[in-house]
Amino acid sequence: MKVGAGLVVLLLIGFLLIQTLLSTSWVRGKVAAKLSQRVGGLNVQIADLDWTPWGGARIRGLKVGQPELLEKLVPIPLLEVDEVHVWPDYAAALKGELAASQVTVKRPKLHVSAEMLMSIAAASTPAAEPPSIAAAAVPQPAAAVGGGSESESESASTVEAPEAGNQPQAASPKPPVQAVEAPAPPKVVRKRIRVVVEDGGFELVRAGEEEKLAVINGVNLDLPVFGEPAEASSSIALIECLGQVIDDDLKLEVKTGGAGLDFLIVDRPGKKSGIVGRVGLIAVAGVPFRANLGVRRDALDRMKLSEELSVESGEIQMRVNGGGWLQAPGSWSGVGQFGANQVLGQLAGQSLAFGSATGSLQLSGGVIQSPDFRLVGDSASILGNGWVTSRDGAAVLRVVVPYSVVGMMNAGLGKKVPESVFAFKPLQPDNRWYSDVSMWREESGWVVEFGESGSELPIGKLLGQE
* Nearest by Cα to 429 from 138, 139, 159: 159
Single-letter code of the amino acid located at 19:
Q
Looking at residue 218, its pLDDT comes to: 96
- In this structure, the number of other CB atoms found within 10 A of the CB of residue 391 comes to 12
Answer whether 272's CB lies under 8 Å from 296's CB.
yes
Coil, helix or strand for 17? Answer: helix
Q: What is the pLDDT of residue 155?
A: 40
Question: Please, where are the H alpha helices in 59-158?
Answer: 90-94, 114-121, 150-155
Residue 388, pLDDT score: 85
| pTM assigned to the model | 0.72
Residue 177: predicted pLDDT = 41
- 36 by DSSP, 3-state: which? helix
How distant, in Å, are the alpha carbons of 55, 83, 189, 193 from that of 101?
11, 17, 15, 5
Q: Identify the pLDDT of residue 55.
A: 77
Taking only Cα atoms into account, the Rg of the chain, rounded to an integer number of angstroms, comes to 27
- Count CA within 13 A, CB hemisphere, residue 382: 17
Residue 201 carries which side chain, given as an amino acid letter? G
Please report the pLDDT score of residue 416 as a whole number: 78
Please tell me the distance from the alpha carbon of residue 435 to that of residue 384, in angstroms, as a whole number: 12
Q: Fill in the amino acid letter for 97.
A: E
pLDDT at 208: 72
Q: Each residue's pLDDT tens digit in the chain (466 positions)? A: 554 555 545 545 554 455 555 556 666 777 788 888 888 888 999 888 887 777 788 889 999 998 887 888 888 899 999 999 988 887 776 676 667 888 999 999 999 888 777 666 555 544 444 455 444 433 333 333 333 333 333 343 333 333 333 333 333 333 334 444 545 545 545 677 889 999 999 999 887 777 788 999 999 999 887 767 778 889 999 999 888 888 999 999 888 876 678 888 887 777 777 888 999 888 777 789 999 999 988 887 877 766 666 788 888 899 999 998 887 777 889 999 999 988 888 766 677 888 889 999 998 887 889 998 998 888 888 899 999 887 788 999 999 988 888 888 888 788 778 878 889 999 877 788 999 999 998 888 889 898 888 888 887 776 655 5
| Side-chain half-sphere CA neighbours of 156 within 13 A | 31
- Please report the pLDDT score of residue 64 as a whole number: 93
pLDDT of residue 318: 92
- Determine the pLDDT at residue 344: 85
Cα–Cα dist 162/312, whole Å: 31
